[in-house]
Amino acid sequence: MADGTSLDERLAGLATDGRQGAAPMAAELIRARGDRRRRRKRAARASGGVLLAAAVVVGGLSLLRPASEPAPTAADPSPSVSAPRFVAPTPAPGEEYASELGYVYDAVDVGGGRVRVTVQQLRDEKGRAVPTGVVHDLTLPAVTPVEVERLAGGEPGDKRLEDVVGRLRAGPQWAFALDYDGEGRVQSLREAHWLTVG
Protein backbone atom coordinates (compact mmCIF):
# COMPACT_ATOMS: atom_id res chain seq x y z
CA MET A 1 0.00 0.00 0.00
CA ALA A 2 2.84 2.34 0.88
CA ASP A 3 4.46 1.52 -2.47
CA GLY A 4 1.18 2.35 -4.29
CA THR A 5 0.89 5.69 -2.50
CA SER A 6 4.47 6.66 -3.24
CA LEU A 7 3.93 5.72 -6.89
CA ASP A 8 0.82 7.94 -7.04
CA GLU A 9 2.74 10.78 -5.42
CA ARG A 10 5.60 10.36 -7.86
CA LEU A 11 3.24 10.36 -10.85
CA ALA A 12 1.49 13.48 -9.51
CA GLY A 13 4.87 15.15 -9.05
CA LEU A 14 5.93 14.25 -12.60
CA ALA A 15 2.64 15.61 -13.98
CA THR A 16 3.15 18.89 -12.10
CA ASP A 17 6.71 19.17 -13.41
CA GLY A 18 5.46 18.47 -16.95
CA ARG A 19 2.81 21.20 -16.70
CA GLN A 20 5.36 23.70 -15.41
CA GLY A 21 7.72 22.78 -18.24
CA ALA A 22 4.98 22.99 -20.87
CA ALA A 23 3.74 26.47 -19.92
CA PRO A 24 7.03 28.24 -20.65
CA MET A 25 7.27 26.28 -23.92
CA ALA A 26 3.81 27.47 -25.01
CA ALA A 27 4.70 31.06 -24.07
CA GLU A 28 7.94 30.73 -26.02
CA LEU A 29 6.03 29.54 -29.12
CA ILE A 30 3.58 32.44 -28.86
CA ARG A 31 6.45 34.90 -28.49
CA ALA A 32 8.26 33.38 -31.50
CA ARG A 33 5.09 33.63 -33.62
CA GLY A 34 4.69 37.28 -32.62
CA ASP A 35 8.30 37.98 -33.58
CA ARG A 36 7.82 36.33 -36.98
CA ARG A 37 4.66 38.35 -37.56
CA ARG A 38 6.47 41.61 -36.67
CA ARG A 39 9.36 40.72 -39.01
CA ARG A 40 6.90 40.00 -41.87
CA LYS A 41 5.14 43.34 -41.30
CA ARG A 42 8.46 45.20 -41.29
CA ALA A 43 9.55 43.43 -44.47
CA ALA A 44 6.22 44.19 -46.17
CA ARG A 45 6.49 47.87 -45.20
CA ALA A 46 10.07 48.04 -46.44
CA SER A 47 9.27 46.36 -49.78
CA GLY A 48 6.22 48.62 -50.22
CA GLY A 49 8.43 51.66 -49.69
CA VAL A 50 10.97 50.34 -52.19
CA LEU A 51 8.23 49.72 -54.78
CA LEU A 52 6.80 53.20 -54.24
CA ALA A 53 10.23 54.77 -54.60
CA ALA A 54 10.86 52.78 -57.80
CA ALA A 55 7.48 53.85 -59.22
CA VAL A 56 8.25 57.50 -58.47
CA VAL A 57 11.69 57.25 -60.09
CA VAL A 58 10.34 55.51 -63.21
CA GLY A 59 7.49 58.00 -63.48
CA GLY A 60 9.90 60.93 -63.10
CA LEU A 61 12.25 59.52 -65.72
CA SER A 62 9.41 59.01 -68.18
CA LEU A 63 8.44 62.68 -67.71
CA LEU A 64 12.01 63.87 -68.18
CA ARG A 65 12.72 61.70 -71.21
CA PRO A 66 12.94 63.86 -74.37
CA ALA A 67 9.93 63.38 -76.60
CA SER A 68 10.82 62.03 -80.03
CA GLU A 69 9.02 63.88 -82.79
CA PRO A 70 7.26 61.51 -85.22
CA ALA A 71 8.27 61.77 -88.85
CA PRO A 72 5.70 63.46 -91.08
CA THR A 73 3.60 61.08 -93.12
CA ALA A 74 2.91 61.35 -96.85
CA ALA A 75 -0.74 62.12 -96.12
CA ASP A 76 0.13 64.96 -93.73
CA PRO A 77 3.50 66.51 -94.70
CA SER A 78 3.35 69.22 -92.02
CA PRO A 79 1.68 68.00 -88.81
CA SER A 80 0.77 70.71 -86.33
CA VAL A 81 3.44 71.04 -83.67
CA SER A 82 0.99 72.80 -81.34
CA ALA A 83 -1.41 69.82 -81.17
CA PRO A 84 -0.99 67.79 -77.95
CA ARG A 85 0.62 64.38 -78.44
CA PHE A 86 -1.07 61.17 -77.46
CA VAL A 87 0.40 59.29 -74.50
CA ALA A 88 -1.18 55.93 -73.66
CA PRO A 89 -2.54 55.98 -70.12
CA THR A 90 -0.89 53.66 -67.61
CA PRO A 91 -2.69 51.83 -64.81
CA ALA A 92 -2.30 53.24 -61.32
CA PRO A 93 -0.45 51.04 -58.79
CA GLY A 94 -2.66 48.09 -57.93
CA GLU A 95 -4.95 48.67 -60.94
CA GLU A 96 -5.16 46.33 -63.92
CA TYR A 97 -6.23 48.89 -66.53
CA ALA A 98 -6.17 52.63 -67.23
CA SER A 99 -8.88 54.25 -69.32
CA GLU A 100 -8.97 56.90 -72.01
CA LEU A 101 -12.24 58.55 -72.97
CA GLY A 102 -12.70 59.35 -76.62
CA TYR A 103 -14.82 59.38 -79.74
CA VAL A 104 -14.06 56.26 -81.77
CA TYR A 105 -14.71 56.71 -85.49
CA ASP A 106 -13.40 56.19 -89.05
CA ALA A 107 -13.25 52.43 -88.41
CA VAL A 108 -11.71 50.46 -91.29
CA ASP A 109 -11.15 46.72 -91.57
CA VAL A 110 -7.50 46.59 -92.70
CA GLY A 111 -7.42 42.79 -93.08
CA GLY A 112 -5.50 40.18 -91.17
CA GLY A 113 -8.01 40.31 -88.36
CA ARG A 114 -7.22 44.00 -87.60
CA VAL A 115 -9.34 47.15 -87.50
CA ARG A 116 -7.97 50.70 -87.61
CA VAL A 117 -9.89 53.42 -85.76
CA THR A 118 -9.37 57.10 -85.02
CA VAL A 119 -9.76 58.24 -81.43
CA GLN A 120 -10.51 61.85 -80.51
CA GLN A 121 -9.66 62.08 -76.82
CA LEU A 122 -12.29 63.48 -74.46
CA ARG A 123 -12.43 64.49 -70.84
CA ASP A 124 -15.43 64.18 -68.57
CA GLU A 125 -16.55 67.56 -67.27
CA LYS A 126 -19.51 66.93 -64.97
CA GLY A 127 -20.92 64.26 -67.29
CA ARG A 128 -20.29 66.23 -70.47
CA ALA A 129 -17.79 65.08 -73.13
CA VAL A 130 -15.23 67.81 -73.87
CA PRO A 131 -12.53 67.25 -76.55
CA THR A 132 -8.92 67.61 -75.34
CA GLY A 133 -7.44 68.27 -78.79
CA VAL A 134 -5.58 64.93 -78.89
CA VAL A 135 -6.42 62.75 -81.91
CA HIS A 136 -4.64 59.46 -82.66
CA ASP A 137 -5.07 56.26 -84.66
CA LEU A 138 -5.12 52.73 -83.27
CA THR A 139 -4.98 49.40 -85.05
CA LEU A 140 -6.71 46.81 -82.89
CA PRO A 141 -7.52 43.11 -83.16
CA ALA A 142 -10.94 42.66 -84.78
CA VAL A 143 -11.98 40.50 -81.81
CA THR A 144 -11.37 43.27 -79.22
CA PRO A 145 -14.33 43.16 -76.77
CA VAL A 146 -16.75 46.10 -77.04
CA GLU A 147 -19.48 46.82 -74.48
CA VAL A 148 -22.32 48.71 -76.17
CA GLU A 149 -25.63 50.25 -75.19
CA ARG A 150 -26.75 53.22 -77.32
CA LEU A 151 -24.80 51.85 -80.27
CA ALA A 152 -26.97 48.72 -80.07
CA GLY A 153 -30.23 50.68 -79.93
CA GLY A 154 -30.37 50.97 -76.13
CA GLU A 155 -29.92 47.22 -75.55
CA PRO A 156 -26.77 46.69 -73.39
CA GLY A 157 -24.58 43.89 -74.68
CA ASP A 158 -21.13 42.63 -75.56
CA LYS A 159 -19.82 42.62 -79.11
CA ARG A 160 -16.50 42.38 -80.90
CA LEU A 161 -14.94 45.33 -82.71
CA GLU A 162 -15.49 43.64 -86.08
CA ASP A 163 -19.25 43.55 -85.32
CA VAL A 164 -19.51 47.35 -84.96
CA VAL A 165 -17.13 48.56 -87.71
CA GLY A 166 -20.10 49.62 -89.86
CA ARG A 167 -21.53 51.81 -87.09
CA LEU A 168 -18.11 53.35 -86.32
CA ARG A 169 -17.26 54.26 -89.95
CA ALA A 170 -18.80 57.75 -89.72
CA GLY A 171 -17.30 60.80 -88.00
CA PRO A 172 -17.10 61.40 -84.23
CA GLN A 173 -20.39 60.30 -82.75
CA TRP A 174 -19.87 57.42 -80.30
CA ALA A 175 -17.90 57.97 -77.09
CA PHE A 176 -16.02 55.05 -75.52
CA ALA A 177 -13.75 54.33 -72.59
CA LEU A 178 -10.71 52.48 -73.96
CA ASP A 179 -9.03 50.22 -71.37
CA TYR A 180 -5.23 50.06 -71.66
CA ASP A 181 -3.05 47.47 -69.92
CA GLY A 182 0.37 48.17 -68.42
CA GLU A 183 2.05 47.69 -71.81
CA GLY A 184 -0.10 50.30 -73.57
CA ARG A 185 -2.34 47.80 -75.39
CA VAL A 186 -6.10 48.32 -75.64
CA GLN A 187 -7.87 45.39 -73.98
CA SER A 188 -11.49 46.50 -74.41
CA LEU A 189 -13.81 49.34 -75.35
CA ARG A 190 -16.80 50.33 -73.22
CA GLU A 191 -19.40 52.70 -74.58
CA ALA A 192 -19.38 55.82 -72.39
CA HIS A 193 -23.16 55.96 -72.22
CA TRP A 194 -22.94 58.08 -69.05
CA LEU A 195 -21.47 61.02 -71.02
CA THR A 196 -23.53 63.67 -72.79
CA VAL A 197 -22.00 63.98 -76.26
CA GLY A 198 -22.54 66.45 -79.05
What pTM does this model have?
A: 0.57
pLDDT in tens, 115-136: 999 999 999 998 898 999 999 9
* Nearest alpha carbon to residue 194 among 141, 134, 131, 126: 126
Q: What is the mean pLDDT of the chain?
A: 79
User: Which residue, 197, 156, 186, 193, is CA-closest to 86?
Assistant: 186
Q: What is the pLDDT of residues 5-21, one digit of tens each?
A: 678 788 777 777 766 55
Distance of CA 96 to the CA centre of its chain: 2
Q: Which CATH architecture has domain 98-191?
A: Beta Barrel (2.40)
Could you say which DSSP state residue 161 is in? G
Which pLDDT does position 144 carry in this prediction? Answer: 95
Residue 75 banded pLDDT, cuts 50, 70, 90: very low
2 has a pLDDT exceeding 70: no
> H-helix or E-strand containing 122?
strand 114-125
Nearest to 112 by CA among 142, 132, 86, 135: 142
pLDDT tens digits along 19-54 = 655 555 566 667 777 677 777 666 666 666 656 666
**Residue range 161-183: mean pLDDT, rounded:** 93
Pick from 105, 116, 120: which is nearest to 168 by CA? 105
Q: Which residue did the predictor score with more confidence, 63 or 148?
A: 148
pLDDT beyond 90 at 190: yes
Q: In this structure, are residues 188 and 179 in contact, taking their beta carbons and an 8 Å threshold?
A: yes
Query: 107 pLDDT exceeds 80?
Result: yes
Asked if pLDDT for residue 80 goes beyond 80, the answer is no
Taking the alpha carbons at both ends of the chain, their separation in whole angstroms is 106
173 vs 151: CA distance, rounded Å: 10
Residues 6+ apart with CB under 8 A from 193: 149, 150
For a pLDDT cut of 70, what percent of the chain falls above it? Answer: 65
Domain locations along the chain: 1-65, 98-191
The span from the CA of 137 to the CA of 132, in Å, is 15
